[in-house]
Structure 1
Amino acid sequence: MHASEFSKIWHKILKDYKLHMDSNLAPSLTDAQLTVLELLQERDAMKPSDLAPHLATSPAAVTMLLDRMEKNGLIIRERDAADRRIVWVSITEIGTQETVRGLKIRSDFFAEALDPISSHNQQLLLYLMGKMVVTTTPEGSTP
């Protein structure tokens, strides 16, 4: 069955990716932190609760992640001037530099992984993987 073969290959790719990212981002960054920095770079500032869905983790784990990131100077957290209950997370200059470094590390991994595949087949692979992505409507149902 193709699903079993796909599963084995997919897990190997994920394992190789995680090993590559962990070893090359360390000691100043993790893959989850890179995800946060990437989001903050795109959106300037976000509430911690808005980060949780992108990290597939609990609000408590997001808080611990942000604590480590703030301690390492990657982000700053500030209370909203109008509503003190709201906390805004934004990226620092160090965080921006680490984002550039982290995205290059990620890009290098995928460039090496895709290198043996022809340009045409890379396009086909992207198309097929796009077919696998489940899109949902705002109500949470598939279109």
Structure 2
Amino acid sequence: MQTSEFAKLWFKLTKDYKVYMEQHLAPSLTESQLTVLEVLQENGRMKPSQLIPYLATTPAAVTMLLDRMEKNGFVTRLRDQEDRRIVWILITERGLEEADRGTQIRNAFLSVALGRISLHNQNLLVFLLGKITAAGQL
């Protein structure tokens, strides 16, 4: 079985990805903030608690992350008009711009990485990763 070789290659790829993203997103954006912005782009307004599954972190960490994002103008918090206990998180225009910038940075990394293999093998890789992750049920 190729598990140890897979583990080494997977570790190298994810390490290279994280280093690249940190260097190119800085100083205004982090990878976690990019995740929040992309989720908000896709879903519209959300409660902070709804972000937890996307970030795999604690409610306190999400609050701190959102505090920084609000301070930087990426998101805004809005109290629900009918139930003041509910706080909605909304992406701002600046947040949309940063999400686009972050997506371009990620796509640049992935284009280089995937460009090392043929289009057929790229499609095969995506197919196989889909099988491994069983449609997100790992």
TM-score computed with the length of structure 1 as normaliser:
0.93
Structure 2 unaligned regions, length at least 5? none
> Counterparts of 2:73 and 2:136 in 1: how far apart (Å)?
36
TM-score computed with the length of structure 2 as normaliser:
0.96
- SS of residue paired to 1:88: strand
Structure 1 residue 134: Cα displacement:
3.3
Match of 2:89 in 1: 89
Match of 2:53 in 1: 53
What is the 5 A alignment of 1:1-143?
1-135=1-135
Structure 1 unaligned regions, length at least 5? none
Q: Measured at CA, do residues 136 and 71 of structure 1 come closer, stay the same or move farther in structure 2, by a change above 3 Å?
A: closer
Structure 1 residue 43: Cα displacement:
1.2
Q: Which amino acid aligns with 1:134?
A: A
Structure 1 residue 135: Cα displacement:
4.2
Structure 1 residue 46: Cα displacement:
0.3
Residues paired across the two proteins, number: 138
Q: How high is the sequence identity, in percent, across the aligned residues?
A: 59
Stretches of 4+ aligned residues off by more than 3 angstroms: 134-137
Question: Which digits, 9 at most, give the CA deviation of each residue in 1:82-116, with x for residues without a partner?
Answer: 00010000000000000000000000000000111
